[in-house]
Amino acid sequence: MISYSFYIIASKLTELLDGKKFKINFIRFIFIFSYWGIYLKAGVRRGALFLICMLFFWILSKNINRKKCIGYMTLVFIFLLLLGYIRNKVQSVDISYIYINSLGEFILPQWISYYYIYNPKPLLLGKTYLYTFLYLFPKALLPNKPEDLGIMFWKEAGTNTALAFNPVAEGIINFGNLSIIFVPIIIFVLIFFIRKFKKRQLLYFVFCGAALNFMRGAMANFIFECLFVFICIKIMNMTIIDKFKGEIYEKQL
C-alpha cells in the first residue's frame, strides 16, 4: 500500500488538480485516504511514517516553497506524536508517560539492546547482515531460512509479545562489545551507498522514507522493505497503471 499510495500521489496528483481523468483519479485518492485514515485510527503509525517521509523528500526535490513544505510536515509529525499519546486511551499528564507513548516504536525496541547486554549469546560475527538475500525467497521455497530477529528475541526472552529489533541490538549479538566500532561503520557504509542513489530519485526517496524506521528493525528487514517498495512501484509503472508520466520521470525510475 505504501508503494501504491506513493505512485498515485506522485504521478496522478497533477492530473487530479487539473481535472484530467478526474473520476478515476478521485476514486484512487478516496481509496488511499480512506485506507490510511483507518490505518491511523487503529493507532498504527509505522507505514504512514514511511509514506509521509517518502513524499516529503519527493516534494523537496521540486521547485516549491520549501519552508511551507517543512512547516506542513512539522504539523504532520506533531499529529503523529499526539496519536501515539492518545491511542492507548489513558489520560495522564506524566511527562514520562507522554514521552514513552509518543515515541514508543523507537524507545521500546531498545529494551532488546539491554537484554543482550545482560544476557550475551554466542556472537554471530555479521551473519545476520546477510539475511537480506535469504529474505528475498518465500518460506515455501526456502523453509529453513532464518527467522526474524524480533521473533528470535521473543523466544529467547520469553516476553508476551515480539518487539522490533534495532541496529544496536543487532550489533551486540554479532560483535559484542566491539559493536561500538562496527555498527557506526556499517551505518556509514549504508548512508554512503544511499547517497549514490541520489540521481536515481525513486530509490533515493524510498531509502530516505524508511530512514526513521531504520532504528526499529534489523538491517536485513530495512533493506528488504526498501527493495520491496521500490520493486512494487517499478512494476506498477510498467504494467498495472498508465505509464509514469507525472512528476517522477521514467528515466529516473
| Nearest by Cα to 105 from 238, 239, 253, 216 | 216
| Per-residue pLDDT, 172 | 93
Q: What CA–CA distance (Å, rounded) separates 227 from 22?
A: 31
Which stretch of 49-58, 60-69, 199-208, 210-219 has the lowest confidence by average pLDDT? 60-69
252 has pLDDT over 50: no
Residue 81 located in a structural domain: no
Domains held by the chain: number = 1
Q: What is the pLDDT of residues 12-55, one digit of tens each?
A: 777 676 667 777 778 888 888 888 888 877 767 778 888 888 88
Residue 196 located in a structural domain: yes
Residue 166 located in a structural domain: yes
| Per-residue pLDDT, 23 | 78
Residue 92 located in a structural domain: no
Residue 130 located in a structural domain: yes
245 has pLDDT over 70: no
Q: Domain limits at 154? A: 108-253
| Per-residue pLDDT, 17 | 67
Q: What CA–CA distance (Å, rounded) separates 173 from 115?
A: 10
Residue 48 located in a structural domain: no
Residue 167 located in a structural domain: yes
Reported confidence tier of residue 237, pLDDT bands at 50, 70, 90: confident
Please say whether the beta carbons of 214 and 225 come within 8 A. no
Residue 64 located in a structural domain: no
> Is the torsion defined by CA of 33, 39, 42, 47 positive or negative?
negative
83 has pLDDT over 70: yes
pTM (2 d.p.): 0.76
